[in-house]
Amino acid sequence: MFKAGKILIDRQQLAARIAELGEEISRDYAGKQLTTVGILRGAVLFLADLLRELNISVTVDFMAVSSYGAATKSSGVVRILKDLDDPITGRHVLVVEDIVDTGLTIDYLRRILSDRSPASLKVCTLLNKQSRRVIDVDVEYIGFDIEDRFVVGYGLDFQQLYRNLPHIAYIDGEV
Ligand code: 5GP
């Protein structure tokens, strides 16, 4: 297996924490049907592993978003590249994200999805960079809090590469 930078969170740590998250989410949604919404493309590996830890009734849908770029980033304007296939009205929705950084993407997603009148709406992120937040946004489930470093692996990319690493690594400019 090729390596990008240094390992920050290894595959055993990922598996253990995701099992805990799965247990917590299964407990919180016991007796309900959950609609998970994976945010493409980064959350794919996390969602796939999290799903296997859920012992409740669950469906899966996906959204792809992209920010408009630096100029509009501060306004939190996000472009929907792929919308959900199914309506979420009356559903218990859990957005599954790879990482929450400034919070702008999740803030936007929370706003547009809550406009569709779900029964409930929560967010689960594998990674959280609290120190980078520019907007206060609710994130109900957090896998790991990490410091302000650019990370790759386990779904997260650098120029579309490294998503296949089984661990989270940081690359401080030396890819
Ligand atoms: P936010 O709107 O919270 O600033 O942006 C979150 C998005 O920025 C993530 O979904 C991810 O695509 C990207 N991002 C933020 N930090 C990192 C990082 O350290 N590594 C990678 N690969 N993507 C990041």
Residue 35, SS3 per DSSP: strand
Locate the ligand 1 atom nearest the alpha carbon of residue 103 and give its number. Answer: 3
* Beta carbon of 123 within 6 Å of any ligand 1 atom: no
Residue from 175, 156, 158, 174 nearest 166 by CA: 156
Locate the ligand 1 atom nearest the alpha carbon of residue 101 and give its number. Answer: 3
| pLDDT band, residue 74 (cuts 50/70/90) | low
Please tell me the distance from the alpha carbon of residue 175 to that of residue 171, in angstroms, as a whole number.
Answer: 6
pLDDT for position 68: 62
Q: Give the range of the structural domain holding residue 42, as residue numbers without chain letter.
A: 3-26+33-172
Tokens 């919180």 -> residue:
28
Q: What is the CATH number of the domain that holds 139?
A: 3.40.50.2020
Could you report the per-residue pLDDT of 123-173, keeping only the tens digit for each?
Answer: 999 999 999 999 999 999 999 999 999 999 999 999 999 999 999 999 865
* Beta carbon of 105 within 6 Å of any ligand 1 atom: yes
Top mutation candidate among 101, 126, 131 for ligand 1, by most atoms within 8 Å of CB:
101
Helix (H) or strand (E) holding 94: strand 92-100
Could you report the per-residue pLDDT of 4-38, keeping only the tens digit for each?
Answer: 689 999 999 999 999 999 999 999 999 999 999 99
Structure tokens at 159: 């120029």
pLDDT at 174 over 70: no
Q: How many domains does the chain have?
A: 1
Locate the ligand 1 atom nearest the alpha carbon of residue 158 and give its number. Answer: 22
| pLDDT band, residue 70 (cuts 50/70/90) | low
* Beta carbon of 128 within 6 Å of any ligand 1 atom: no
